[in-house]
Amino acid sequence: MKAAIYSQKTDLDTFLYLSKFISELAKRNIEAVLHQNTANDLQFSKDFATFSSKEDLQNQNVDFFFSFGGDGTILNALIFIQDLQIPVIGVNTGRLGFLASFSKEEIFNNIDNIVNGELVLSKRSVIQVFTKNNSIAFPYALNDLSIIRKETTSMITVDTYINDDFLTVFWADGLIVSTPTGSTAYSLSCGGPIIAPTNDNFVLTPIAPHNLNVRPIVIKDDAEIHLKVESRVPQYSLSLDSRLYELNTDEEVWIKKAPFELHLLLPKDINFFDKLRERLLWGKDKRN
């Protein structure tokens, strides 16, 4: 059995912590396969197998993917896993952590549960983006796609079509298209609704719209979304999770649900609604 180890942190505490975790895996005859940058930056022994691409994970026959960091680290894990369906275990060494379900301490008590298949598998939908020029190197996002104004204080307009039917023109700083997973991220901060990850939806949330009667809208994720951007400058920004691209305003965007999902392993005793109450402090009286 093999487990991929991925982290974006390069400090001494991370090295000591990962060394301890890898030792626990070895006790269970699980071979650690380290991300190439993690191995190099933290100066792990060259005896470890490494990966730097989807093909490496596939060739190594990795069974599990451990992500150490915050939710952003899990978002970047999609680049390596893509359609391989390798289960991801998120260990939260960051801050909020909606996706990373285990704390640094809890994961040690759950290694056997993971190996024995005693966790819950949560399948998360992924966004896929198309342009006529195929100008986006990795056209997938787990959380969201954002169209954002670039190098101007003026708003942009985004003509929006759903399955070739005209929806509206969003006159705003931008537009977010999010998955249910991404509904608790950027979309939420812009007034979008929270959607449970088991729902098959996209959310379209305008960013600071000029017309206050323009509100977020929820649609089925089997729809194709078509966006046309107009701006006072010749370019706009497009972000996919944490990756930023610059497109010309004459470059239109089509958005669909990707033909694969990301698989997350979650503890049985904590569900999505437990996380909402904990992370968003629901039911807590903050007046004292």
The conformation of residue 112, written as its DSSP 8-state character, comes to H
159: β partners: 169, 228
State the DSSP H helix or E strand holding residue 4, giving kind and residue range, or none if neither: strand 2-7
Token output for 275:
């996380």
Q: Quick check: is 165 catalytic?
A: no
What span, in angstroms and rounded, lies between the C-alpha atoms of 245 and 251? Answer: 12
Got the DSSP string for 37-94? Answer: HHHHHTT--TTSEEE-SHHHHHHHT--EEEEEESHHHHHHHHHHHTTS---EEEEE-S
CA distances to 17, 94, 273 from 282, rounded to whole Å, are 32, 21, 10
| Beta-carbon contacts of residue 56 (< 8 Å; ≥ 6 apart) | 50, 80
- Selected catalytic residue, list 56, 63, 71, 159: 71
Residue 182 in 3-state DSSP? Answer: helix
Q: Which active-site residues does the annotation give?
A: 71
